[in-house]
């Protein structure tokens, strides 16, 4: 959502009208975000403040997907979590015990309350060989002030110390794809992914056989797109306003 539907607290022009057009046509959609610092209900409230009224079931975060993955694994009861109070509450309500004493695994989220003590504890636990998960791999998060460090930056920091990388759950990984398609009740070949990130959104689309629409309203500039060849979107637009125009040109 960040960089595609809105940036910080500002709605991207055309986003509301696009969603209204999709609703009018009966086209199903879901909001995906790798930002695990907030819960789906938080995003639902944020969207409502921007004039987008949607059900919480239409929002899927990487934090929610990580909780589901660990619950399905059924062997992780005690978790050392690097996350915001919102993510901590999501894990606790799912039945996990959050602790730094003999946890079953380490989970790294987008922790805007990160401290040296948390990083130190994580490094020491990882050195013991504990299973290690991350909600998502993004290095940066876009804000109205510019780019700020995201979970990927802390993954890199811990890798330098421990020589370990986590199992990532969010975009572009298959766990996030399966969760999204399952909630939509759709197949990959009949789905489009609209996003602003090459490394996550478009990589996920490429891997899953989903039609990838890159918008240049967020983290990816045209210069960055043209400087690489590894990820190729199916369609490149300046923003969702252009996508709205394309949808409106369709019959019906």
State residue 173 phi and psi, 5-degree precision.
-75, 155
Q: Inform me whether the pLDDT recorded for 75 exceeds 70.
A: yes
Q: Inform me whether the pLDDT recorded for 59 exceeds 80.
A: yes
- What integer pLDDT is reported at residue 252 of this predicted model? 55
Interstrand relation of 10-11 and 59-61 (parallel, antiparallel or unpaired):
unpaired
pTM here is 0.90
The whole-angstrom separation of Cα 142 and Cα 181 is 26
Interstrand relation of 6-7 and 10-11 (parallel, antiparallel or unpaired):
antiparallel
- What integer pLDDT is reported at residue 9 of this predicted model? 82
Residue 240: pLDDT band by 50, 70, 90 thresholds? very high
CA distances from 29 to 26, 152, 165, 173, 234 (A): 9, 27, 32, 19, 19
Paired with 252 in beta bridges are none
- What integer pLDDT is reported at residue 132 of this predicted model? 99
Say which CATH topology domain 63-168 has: Rossmann fold (3.40.50)
Segment 127-178, tens digit of pLDDT:
999 999 999 999 988 888 888 999 999 999 999 999 999 999 999 999 999 9
Alpha-carbon radius of gyration of the chain: 18
Segment 4-22, tens digit of pLDDT:
999 878 999 999 999 999 9
Extended strands (E) in the chain:
6-7, 10-11, 31-33, 59-61, 78-82, 97-98, 105-108, 132-134, 140-143, 146-149, 167-168, 192-195, 211-215, 235-237
Residue 251: pLDDT band by 50, 70, 90 thresholds? low
- What integer pLDDT is reported at residue 100 of this predicted model? 98
CA distances from 122 to 63, 94, 99, 106, 192 (A): 18, 22, 11, 7, 37
What integer is the mean pLDDT of 81-109? 98
What integer is the mean pLDDT of 187-206? 96
Say which CATH topology domain 6-28+186-249 has: Rossmann fold (3.40.50)
- What integer pLDDT is reported at residue 7 of this predicted model? 86
The whole-angstrom separation of Cα 97 and Cα 164 is 24
Answer for the pair 32, 171: CB distance below 8 angstroms, yes or no. yes
CATH 3.40.50.1000 region(s) of the chain? 6-28+186-249, 63-168
**Averaged pLDDT score across all residues of the chain:** 95
Question: Which of 245, 236, 217 lies closest to 5, judged by CA?
Answer: 217
The whole-angstrom separation of Cα 52 and Cα 15 is 9
- What integer pLDDT is reported at residue 243 of this predicted model? 96
Segment 41-56, tens digit of pLDDT:
999 999 999 999 999 9
């Amino acid at each position: 959502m960040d960089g595609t539907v809105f940036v910080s607290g500002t709605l991207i022009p055309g986003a509301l009208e696009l969603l209204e057009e999709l609703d009018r046509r009966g086209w199903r959609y879901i909001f995906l975000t790798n930002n695990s610092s907030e819960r789906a209900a938080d995003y639902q409230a944020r969207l409502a403040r921007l004039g987008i009224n949607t059900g919480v079931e239409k929002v899927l975060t990487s934090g929610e997907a990580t909780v589901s993955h660990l619950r399905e694994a059924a062997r992780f009861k005690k978790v050392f979590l690097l996350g915001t109070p919102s993510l901590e509450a999501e894990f606790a309500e799912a039945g996990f015990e959050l602790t730094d004493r003999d946890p079953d695994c380490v989970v790294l989220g987008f922790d805007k309350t990160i401290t040296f003590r948390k990083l130190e504890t994580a490094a020491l636990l990882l050195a013991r060989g504990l299973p290690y998960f991350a909600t998502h791999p993004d290095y940066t998060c876009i804000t109205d002030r510019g780019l700020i460090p995201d979970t990927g930056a802390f993954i890199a920091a811990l890798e330098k110390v421990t020589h370990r990388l986590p199992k990532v759950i969010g975009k572009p990984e298959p766990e996030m794809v399966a969760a999204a398609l399952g909630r939509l009740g759709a197949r990959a070949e009949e789905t489009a992914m609209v996003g602003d990130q090459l490394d996550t959104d478009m990589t996920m689309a490429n891997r899953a056989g989903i039609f990838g629409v890159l918008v240049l309203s967020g983290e990816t500039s045209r210069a960055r797109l043209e400087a690489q060849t590894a990820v190729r979107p199916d369609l490149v637009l300046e923003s969702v306003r252009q996508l709205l125009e394309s949808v409106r040109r369709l019959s019906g």
